Structure 1
Amino acid sequence: MSCSEFQRKHTWEKNRLSKLFSCAIDAILTNSLYSANEYVMVFHPLQFFLDAFKCRRPSDTPKLYINRRAAMEHRCEPGNDPDFKNSIFSQIYEGLKPRDRNSKCLDYRWSSRFDQWWECKFMSEGVIDQGGGFRDSLSDLSEELCPVTSDAALPLPFFIRSPNQVGDDSNIHRDVYILNHQCRDFTKYEWIGQLMGACLRGKENLVLSFPPLIWKMICGERVTWTRDYHTVDAAEVKLIDQLETMDKETFSGAGRIWSTTMTDGTPVELKVDGEGNPLPLDYDDRQEYCNKVRQIRMSEFDQQISAIRKGLLKTVPQAVFDLLTWQELEHRISGNPDITIEALKRSVHYDDIEEDCSTVKYMWQALEKFSTEDRSRFLRFVTGRKRLPAPIYVSSGKT
């Protein structure tokens, strides 16, 4: 590690520790913590703030009736159900609404020990939900929000594929989703934020394939065009940066106008004539043009981010965000996307079978040949979760 790198890391750690003590003092003064034992929270700050902001689990677990056949039909042909009423998302969202004046909305601030937020009755499937059905519903919900298959139709309007998924200029962050700036259903974005907060508090995952830019914005970290926006649209970053340094002769042949496009392809006119047509872009104005494009693109989904953060902050106190990096936030909400054999082995619990048994060895030999996507499918099959951490129980099968 170079001297400058060490200094940057030291400064970052010092600032983080300063935030920790500031948040701790505020919490102590606010909650009037007189017991000396409670000062031990300095050593476990994250859990302290989560516990200080928690509530009791619901007295009755909500029961949801979910028609997965109808949801699958909607996923295949979203155009037949433009209001996505048959989606898993809508069936859960509507099913959790209070049914009478005495019912209350779930606030998702319960302890991590509460590991089944609702009970699922899958219609025509005969499944008795003892936790597996609930986790299945979360996995189905994740799949609707951010489909794994790159050519599948999008069953929900909240997130769209990033330009990197179809661009040729990037070989990283190709499978990510971004927020849809045209979707104005902020109440549902807020609910998504509450689910994310519940996952942060507990042991479940809501797998959201966001680029680092989105996670940083949700976390409240500073983002920049050069360092972060390439994770969304590498081709646009390259184009704008080249345009800024382009010589006059090359620029004249480009025929640029005062217009740009949003991440979903929507055209935006930046300067227009009397008839509403975009003006030609002069060489001397290219710097102003580039700055405007950067500003528009970087603030494109600010309102949607704010709605998600509003939901998160209903579930998790701001102090928690002050203590987490964006990577930690992603892992606590969506799990670790990198499913290694070593990580899988650390998650396994053996019951009435030895680790060096030939059957177990064959299982690991097979899993070593699996791709990350195949390991995710295996994980969901045996645990209901798509990412780690997830407990895996291996038994002999003997009764």
Structure 2
Amino acid sequence: MDLAFALFERHKELILTLNECLSDTRDILIILDVINILTNKTKQTQLPELFLGQSNAILGEKLLLTQEMIDTTHTYFDRMADGQLMKFMNQNINLDWHPLPHESINQFIENLSDESVPDSTKYISYTCLCDIPSVHIKTRAKLYYLFNIFIEKVLPMIDLSLSPGDSILIDRIQSARNYILSTTKFQLFNDTLVKTRSTSEFCPDIKFDTVKASLGEHPEDTMFYQAYKQSYSNASRAFRRTMDERAWTAVFIGMHSNDGGGPYRDSITRMCAELCSTKLPLFILCPNGRTNSGSNCDRWIPNVFPPNRPIPDEFKNQYRFVGQLMGMAIRTRNLLDVRFPTLLWKQLVQEKVTIEDIEAIDMQSFTIINQMEENIKQVKILNECEDGNVNDDCDYLFSSIMSELTFDVVSSAGQTYELIPGGFHIPITAANFEDYCMRYRQYRINEFHRQIDFIRQGLYSVVPSAYLTLFTASELEEAVCGKGYIDIEMLKRHTYYSSDSETTSHISRFWSVLSEMFSEEQKKLFLIFVWGRSTLPNRDEDFSSSFTIARLETSGNVDDALPKSHTCAFGLDLPPYSTKEIMYERLNYAITYCSSIDNDWTMN
């Protein structure tokens, strides 16, 4: 009897396990159907019955979702409108790296209007949503939310660390990354950060020769290289710190400062400045920047290496170290002020790089072959109209106008490389033109692939790759670099006045100068002056200390005095200047020229 009972219990366990597996498989198939509907507008919009059937139980009667509502709404949304609605939801739902109660999202959707007319005022910053009736925006938001509830159940069951092409299922889910709410991604990602953090309390010293870094003319003199040589071998473990923890203690040779946080933050700021400069050979200013034309002129791209030769190991490791610094920034929220293009962030999250991404940093990159293709197209059209010989005219076009072109390409760094062996000596003809265009585009799209892949290896050695591959390029960039601008209102919310108040006249002038008269670059310099870092945290809850403003009393004319800062304490001693113009001049002089640091890490 005991044996029979044991077998019966085991049978029940197997049945329960099988039911759970079938349920999980069902949820995965439902997700795939919904992804097909969201990402392919040419397909039918019939949602799985089980998906809609659970909407009432999950969303409640107030947020009822029916197939008829979906069908009506579907016609209003294309990829651009979907993207803007997701952006609106991400920016207006309280983004948090900790579990967000579903009731908060429910409340957000309930508050959306049910009106059958557009609300151009509410969506003034979202041009694709301005003309869509509000009721359809609400319906679409409900669909996204329900999709996210299902995806949240499915994601822990699958291996997101697989490379593109290894799994059709993973590829399909990653193709829908734009439809997954940031809250969903960050909650799952943060759980993996906690599980993989370093438990060691040891914080290694990194010794910096700042004089050598400032005056040296070689890459080996830089702060970046000094940090790389001392910490690269152990960075994959040492950089797995928690929020606001330091990955190292900065020791500035020849100075008597104790690292209470200021030197550490300053070392990161200086390394970032070196990465986006000519001091290091790892990155170069993009072609648009060098010609001062087009957009993204301030973006730095990986340096170019001969396509048929291996990249030297020293460069490979330095690119990996860049990725490790990115991982450290994500974990500790000590953000990096680096200006890399979208194509780099895309490849880091394994998203496909497009021709448009290349043109965004090099507007002339495809001009020649596009013109050549257009010329051939025109020749063919003319010959069709005149019954001429297309091949003869195309051959004449290449031999007369394009006779000097061969199978080579000018790289983003200005060097010329062969597209095939012996390409310098192979002329482009009508017969091989299509092959040339294919190889040209392939080279330009993959020009930085190896370099970025080494950065990715470094990044994934510090943070888990799984849920990171669900981030969009812009989400990863913000996690590493912050918002890209200094939010003065956020800084105000985290300011303590030791002897005055926000309404005191010279304090009001101070905030007016920062918000109205300072450029973004000046705001960054100001942050470096008072805090040793060039970015603010992304969120209010990421502030570990308040910015303190104290009145600086002087014995002479107050308008002649300069402010003082305390980067370890995130503080500013501010003279009560009499006018806004004098406040601007003195602050601007201080942030531009006053960078001698010693003893208590005070800038004078």
TM (norm. structure 1) is 0.81
Task: Give CA-to-partner distance per residue, 1:356-399, whole Å, 9 cap, x none.
Answer: 22122111221221111111111111111112228561322479
Q: Distance in 1 between matches of 2:349 and 2:146?
A: 19
How much does 1:177 deviate? 0.8
Say yes or no: does 1:175 pair with 2:304.
no
Alignment-derived partner of residue 117 in structure 1? 247
Give the residue type in structure 2 aligned to 1:279: I
Consecutive unaligned residues in structure 2, runs of 5 or more: 1-72, 87-139, 160-183, 306-310, 380-395, 553-572, 574-604
Which residue of 446, 449, 455 corresponds with 1:308? 455
Confirm whether residue 24 of structure 1 aligns to residue 166 of structure 2: no
Task: Report the Cα distance in structure 2 between the residues aligned to 1:340 and 1:7, rounded to whole angstroms.
Answer: 27
The amino acid that maps onto 1:119 is T
Counterpart in the other structure of 1:233: 362
**Residue identity in the other structure for 1:394:** T
Could you tell me which of 79, 82, 90 is aligned with 2:225?
90
Q: Distance in 1 between matches of 2:421 and 2:263?
A: 55
- 2:480 equivalent in structure 1: 333
Q: Secondary structure at the match of 2:366?
A: helix
Q: Which residue of 2 aligns with 1:160?
A: 284
Distance 1:18 1:289 in 2: 46
Question: Quick check: 2:213–2:223 contact (8 Å CA) kept in 1?
Answer: yes
Whichever residue aligns with residue 23 of structure 1, its letter is L
Matches of 1:356 and 1:162, distance apart in 2: 45
Q: Does 1:199 align with 2:329?
A: yes
Bigger RCO of structures 1 and 2 (CA < 8 A, at least 6 apart): 1
Q: 1:3 and 2:89 equivalent?
A: no
Contact 1:258 1:272 (C-alpha < 8 Å) held by counterparts? no
Please say if 1:371 is aligned against 2:519.
yes
Instruction: Note closer, same or farther for the CA distance 1:190–1:397 as it changes in structure 2 (3 Å cut).
Output: same
Tell me which residue corresponds to 1:47: 190
Q: Secondary structure at the match of 1:208?
A: coil
Please say if residues 351 and 395 of structure 1, whose CA atoms lie closer than 8 Å, have aligned partners that are also in contact. Answer: yes
Equivalent position of 2:434 in the other structure:
287
Decide whether the 8 Å contact of 2:185 with 2:471 is kept in 1: no
Q: Structure 1 CA distance, aligned partners of 2:365 and 2:415?
A: 14
1:20 Cα deviation after fit: 4.2
1:108 counterpart (227, 239, 242) = 239
> Residue 244 of structure 1 is aligned with which of 373, 388, 402?
373
Distance (Å, rounded) in 2 between the aligned partners of 1:278 and 1:43: 53
Amino acid at match of 2:287: P
| Deviation for aligned residue 1:19 | 5.4
Q: Is the 8 A contact 2:244 2:334 kept in 1?
A: no
Partners of 2:185 and 2:268 in 1: CA distance: 33
State, as a whole percentage, how many aligned pairs show the same letter: 28
Matched-pair contact (CA < 8 Å) for 1:16–1:323: no
TM-superposition CA deviations, 1:228-286 (whole Å, max 9, x none): 1112211113333333222458764344322211111121123566xx74322124533
Identify which of 209, 213, 216 aligns with 2:339: 209
Partner SS state of residue 284, structure 2 = strand
Match of 1:132 among 238, 255, 262: 262
Aligned-residue Cα RMSD (Å) equals 3.1
Question: 2:375, 2:435 → 1: CA distance?
Answer: 14
Partner of 1:35: none
Confirm whether residue 64 of structure 1 aligns to residue 193 of structure 2. Answer: no
**Residues paired across the two proteins, number:** 364
Q: Deviations along 1:45-104, whole A, 9 cap, x unmatched?
A: 232121122221x33221222111111112xx33xxxxx332111221223367xxxx99
Indicate conservation of the 8 Å contact 2:236/2:462, yes or no: no
Q: How does 1:347-366 map to 2 (within 5 A)?
A: 347-366=494-513
Q: In 2, distance between residues paired with 1:282 and 1:43?
A: 52
Q: Following the alignment from structure 2 to structure 1, what is the Cα–Cα distance between the partners of residues 206 and 481?
A: 23
- Taking a change above 3 Å as real, the CA distance of residues 238 and 293 of structure 1, as seen in their structure-2 partners, is same
TM (norm. structure 2) is: 0.55
Indicate how the Cα distance of structure 1 residues 113 and 104 shifts in structure 2: closer, same or farther if over 3 A, else same: closer
Distance (Å, rounded) in 2 between the aligned partners of 1:366 and 1:250:
61
One-letter identity of the residue aligned with 2:455 = I
